[in-house]
Structures are given as C-alpha cells and as structure tokens.
Chain A
C-alpha cells in the first residue's frame, strides 16, 4: 500500500527553525516527485513546491521561493519541509503529496496529486 506518513503537530515561537518530515512507503521513492501543499486555517490549498528524490531537483512556487526548503533523504525514503525562521503567518496544516506526472522528470506534465499524507499542523505563536 502506498503511504505518506507525516510527523506530528509542532508548536513553535516566531523566529524558531523547524523541519517536518514525510516518510514514504509502498513505491520507489526516487521515481516520483514529492511535494508540499499548505492550507492556512479556514482557507484553500496552496501548492508550495516539489522535489525529485532521484537527484534532489527542487522546484518552488514563486510565493514560497526563498521562504522554505524542500529536501529528500533517499537512505530513509523521507522528504522534508524546512523553515529557518518561522512567522505567525506560517501557522497552517502542511500536506505532503505525490506529484504524479505523465512523463518522468517533467513536473509540468502534471497528472494529479494522487497520494496525500495525513497533514502536519504547525502553530507559530509567541
């Protein structure tokens, strides 16, 4: 069974750093893009960025470029989303997703987000 299992709830203060994780099982981790989607309280979905674990090629939405870092550790089939300095506006649920494509290594041939993690709640408050 294909699964994305995310790390648990995080409560942090503004200015602190954070790294959340997404453990993959049930398929070959290096063969598919994996990404992150943000959902702020009471709001819609926002595509943040993706990474191809095979070569760590990462792409970001302009809205999130420079704000977060997406990485992948092939040795443990795990993707990460990281902040250097959190802000209160980073409070949200973050979902990891498998970004399926119709052509390998072409994120623009976007088929759909076919597998979702359960979500990680991040609360940033002083």
Chain B
C-alpha cells in the first residue's frame, strides 16, 4: 500500500488530454514539493516535473504539474502514442522522514 494514492490507469485518444491525480496528506504533499516521473517498459524512470510545476530541460510543455492542498495533478495535453508509460508521483513525508511514491498510473493511448 503506497503512501500516495494514484489511479491505476487512465486513457484517452491521441490529441486529447489526460490528468493523473496524486492524493496524500499534510505530512507529505500538503507541506512538501511534488515531483512526477514516467517510466517506459524495461527502462529507468525519468523526471518529468519537479517542485510541483517545473519542467526539466527537454521536457515539452505538453506536460504540466499542479498542487492544491494535499493533492497534486499531472496533466498531459496533445496525447501521443509515445506517451504510453507508467507515471509516478513522489514527495517527502515529514512523519516518515523519507521519500515516498504513489503506486503508479498506466497511461494508455486509445
């Protein structure tokens, strides 16, 4: 059971938008930065969003992050078949004094 809660899967047609939610508590998302990662089969995860809504160099602006209270959201617009992957949220948990992840969300392009 992960500390952060994500939907197991989301799907949409090419060109559409999907959003992935990440729900936590005041000890984690509520008082710490959220980051997002995607992982393609057989490869290492890669940072997509850091500090709630910042994109590393090379990440297209189709990917966006936001945070409100104890929840965070990753948005992907202009969905492409190449976006099919697993997506994870992460943050620091002040009670655990450790990093924590969500269980992951599989994005499927219909």
- Interface residue total, chain A, C-beta cutoff 8 A: 28
Interface hit among B10-18, B67-75, B89-97: B89-97
Q: Which of B91, B92, B97 has most A Cβ within 10 Å?
A: B92
**Which A residues from 30 to 63 make CB contacts under 8 A with B?**
35, 37, 44-47, 49-50, 59-62
Asked if A113 CB lies within 8 Å of chain B CBs, one says yes
Known: A47-B90, A47-B99. A112 touches B50 (CB 8 A): yes
Question: Of B91, B97, B98, B104, which one neighbours A44 at CB under 8 angstroms?
Answer: B104
List, in ascending order, chain B residues with CB within 8 A of A119's CB.
44
Known: A59-B98, A95-B45. A114 touches B32 (CB 8 A): no
Interface hit among A12-20, A79-87, A102-110: A102-110
- The number of A-B residue pairs with CB atoms under 8 Å apart is 78
List, in ascending order, chain B residues with CB within 8 A of A95's CB.
44-45
List, in ascending order, chain A residues with CB within 8 A of B94's CB.
108
A residues near B (Cβ < 8 Å) are: 35, 37, 44-47, 49-50, 59-62, 95, 99-100, 102, 107-114, 116-119
Other than the given A44-B101, A45-B39, A102-B33, 10 more pairs (CB < 8 A) read A60-B98, A100-B50, A108-B92, A110-B33, A111-B51, A112-B35, A112-B47, A112-B49, A113-B99, A114-B56
B residues near A (Cβ < 8 Å) are: 2, 32-33, 35, 37, 39, 44-47, 49-51, 56, 86, 88, 90-92, 94, 96-104
